Amino acid sequence: MTALLRRAGQTLLVLLGVSVLVFGVFFATPGADPTARIAGRNASPQTMEKVRHEYGFDRPLPVQYAIMMKKLFITRDLASYANRGERVVPEIMQAAPVTACLVCGAAFIWVTVSIAMGTVAAAMKDTWVDRGLMMLGLVGISIPVFWLGEVANLVTQNRYHDTWLFSWVPGLGYVPFSQSPLGWFRALVIPWTVLAVMFIGIYSRVLRTDLVTLAGEDFMRTARAKGLSPARVLLWHGLRTSMVTFVSLFGMDFAQLAGGGALLTEVVFGLPGVGRLTYRALATLDLPVIMATVMYSAVFVVLANAAVDVVYLFLDPRVRDAG
Q: What is the pLDDT of residue 293?
A: 86
83 falls within a domain: no
Q: Sorting pLDDT into bands at 50, 70 and 90, what band is 315?
A: low
Are 262 and 163 part of one and the same domain? yes
Does 84 map to a domain?
A: no
Domains of the chain: total: 2
> Are 240 and 266 contained in the same domain?
yes
Provide CB contacts within 8 A for 293, sequence distance 6+. 92, 259, 260, 274, 277, 278, 281
The reply to whether 49 and 150 lie within a common domain is no
For residues 184 and 51, membership in a common domain is answered with no
Instruction: Specify the pTM.
Output: 0.83
Q: Evaluate whether residue 85 is within a structural domain.
A: no
Chain segment 4-44, per-residue pLDDT in tens: 677 677 778 888 888 888 777 766 666 556 676 666 667 77
| Contacts with 88 (C-beta within 8 Å, 6 or more apart), sequence order | 72, 78, 79, 80, 288, 289, 292
Q: Is residue 82 part of a domain?
A: no
Residue 80 covered by a domain: no
Are 270 and 236 within one domain?
A: yes
Please check whether residues 118 and 67 belong to one and the same domain. Answer: no
Residue-wise over 34-69: b if at least 16 C-beta within 10 A, else e?
bbeebbeeebeeeebeebbeebebeeeeeebbeebb
- 58 pLDDT tier (thresholds 50, 70, 90): confident
Q: What CATH number does residue 259 fall under? A: 1.10.3720.10
Q: Convert the pLDDT of each residue in 208-241 to its tens digit.
A: 888 877 776 666 667 667 766 666 776 666 777 7
Does residue 203 form part of some domain? yes
Q: Mark which of 75, 103, 119 sits at the end of a domain.
A: 75
Same domain, 17 and 97: no
Same domain flag for 16 and 126: no
Boundary (domain end) residue, out of 75, 103, 132 = 75
pLDDT digits (tens, 9 = 90+) for 281-309: 888 777 788 888 888 888 777 777 777 77
Residue 86 lies in a domain: no
Does residue 102 surpass a pLDDT of 90?
Answer: yes
Over its C-alpha atoms, the chain yields an Rg (Å, rounded) of: 24
Q: Give yes or no: residues 100 and 24 share one domain.
A: no
Same domain, 9 and 111: no
Range of the domain at 142: 92-319
